[in-house]
Amino acid sequence: MHVIVTGGSSGIGLAIAKLYAARGDRVSLLARHPGRLEEARAEIASLQGVDDALIRICSVDVASAAETARTVELCEASFGPCDILIASAGIVEPQAFDAMPVSVFDEQIAINFLGTANAVRAVYKGMKRRRSGRIMMISSGAALIGIFGYTAYCASKSALAGFAEALSTEAAATGVYVSICFPPDTLTPQYRREISLRPREAEMLMGAVKPWSAEAVAARIVRGLDRGQAKIHFGLSLTALAYFGPLIKPLLKWWLSRKTRKIFGQDAYPGLADTAEQGFDRDK
């Protein structure tokens, strides 16, 4: 099988690539920085039983539709048609909306949402023609609830949920399976950087939950793909949020406003507390 992994040079994408390479599949890693791609290739090739010749690396910015289409074409020319696409390329820049430069907002949408659509577009027609293929979009738990400081990120990741759902209706009966997953905090280079920028309002909502390992998230994603799961959730609270969000979110906001006041005093984050109270009252 030929597996194409965008964002395959790091974190969750790299952990998924390792699992497929260990099975003997042909793996193409796509990301921007050639140095990190080389390191990733060496890391995968050092795994027991992995054939170096079955790993291909390509430098590409998935935000460019044309560049992504060209790159996927080259990968398919060397390793054959894409059987599985893992769209993992993504970035996060937490910052309050009114402080966030337009370019920073737009880049998150361009890479996380449009970049995923670009990668899907590059493989989808071929998969449809062959009546075979699997697509996995890596969204985030942040698609399930709005988080302070994550306007662009939440928007980009919840847009993926709509995209995956709509595309899966188009793909029904074509032999192409479209899946999406909503990972929790996961210990990767992106997380380490993000945690240093995460606003404390967001920290309060998310708490000090221990992040998952990239290997555990990757194993769950690959298992889900093997079983043909359309949606993959992680852990009890994110799964509950996915299925019972409209019931849970008002209570969560109310609890958050109480916690905010308890920790920071009555006047702390008045906007956050007011919104929570209003939301709770209205939803009652």
- Residue ranges binding ligand NAP (CB under 6 A): 6-7, 9-13, 30-33, 36, 60-63, 88-92, 111-112, 115, 138, 140, 183, 185-186, 188-191
Q: How far is the CB of 213 from ligand NAP (least distance, A)?
A: 10
- Which residues are identified as catalytic? 139, 153, 157
Amino acid at 128: K
Query: What does the block give as tokens for 107?
Result: 């880049």
Q: How far is the CB of 236 from ligand NAP (least distance, A)?
A: 17
Q: How far is the CB of 186 from ligand NAP (least distance, A)?
A: 4
Nearer to ligand NAP, 154 or 276 (CB): 154
Contact 142, 155 (CB under 8 A): no
Separation of alpha carbons 194 and 149, rounded Å: 11
Nearer to ligand NAP, 62 or 135 (CB): 62
According to DSSP, the β-strands at 26-31 and 55-59 are parallel
What is the sign, positive or negative, of the torsion defined by CA atoms of 40, 135, 225, 24?
Answer: negative
Nearer to ligand NAP, 36 or 257 (CB): 36
Q: Which residues of 202-218 are buried (b: 16+ CB within 10 A; e: fewer)?
A: bebbbeeeebbebebbb
Q: How far is the CB of 123 from ligand NAP (least distance, A)?
A: 15
Separation of alpha carbons 136 and 150, rounded Å: 23
Contact 130, 85 (CB under 8 A): no
Nearer to ligand NAP, 55 or 276 (CB): 55
